[in-house]
């Protein structure tokens, strides 16, 4: 089961991932992502979110 992971040392809290994947990602009080399950989300959409992160901090882990 794959899951979303964040490299916290890279993430600057741009929040793009939460906009692109609102089903799986919300933001905390300080604008940093809280990741949930990917479940059966469209892999292409997940891939777009991963590729769109300005800090390349989002990844999918097996």
Partner 1 sequence: MTMLGEHPVIDAMPALFTVADPRLLATRTPDVPPRDREWLVEAAQRVRLLGRGGAAFPVATKLAAVGKGARVVVNGSEGEPASWKDRVLMRQHPDLVVAGAALVGRALRSPQIVIAVNDATSAAALRAAVRRCGDERIEVRHVEHRFVGGEISALINGLNRRTPVPDGVRVLPHERGLGGRPTYASNVETFAHLALLAALGPERYATTGSAGEPGTSLVTLHGTERGAAVLEVPHGIDLSRLVGEHRGPILIGGYHGAWTARTDLVVERPALRAAGIGWGAGVVAVLPERTCPVGEIARVAQWLADQSARQCGPCTFGLPTIAADLQRIVAGGHADRGELSRRIGQVTGRGACHHPTGATGFIASGLTAFDADVRAHLAGRPCGRTTHGVLPLGGGR
- Considering the rule CB under 8 A, would residue 28 count as an interface residue with partner 1? yes
Q: Is 29 in the site for partner 1 (CB under 8 A)?
A: yes
Q: How far is the CB of 42 from partner 1 (least distance, A)?
A: 26
**58-61/3-6 β-pairing:** antiparallel
Paired with 30 in beta bridges are none
Contact between 47 and 21 (Cβ < 8 Å): no
Helices (H), the chain: 16-20, 43-52
Question: Which one among 7, 23, 37, 42 touches partner 1, defined by CB under 8 A?
Answer: 7
Q: Does 62 bind partner 1 (CB under 8 A)?
A: no
Residues that bind partner 1 (CB under 8 A): 7-13, 28-32, 34, 57
């Amino acid at each position: 089961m794959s899951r979303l992971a964040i490299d916290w040392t890279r993430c600057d809290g741009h929040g793009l991932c939460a906009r692109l994947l609102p089903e799986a990602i919300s933001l905390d009080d300080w604008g940093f992502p809280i990741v949930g399950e990917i479940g059966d989300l469209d892999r292409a959409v997940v891939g777009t979110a991963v590729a769109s992160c300005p800090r390349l901090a989002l990844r999918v882990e097996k």
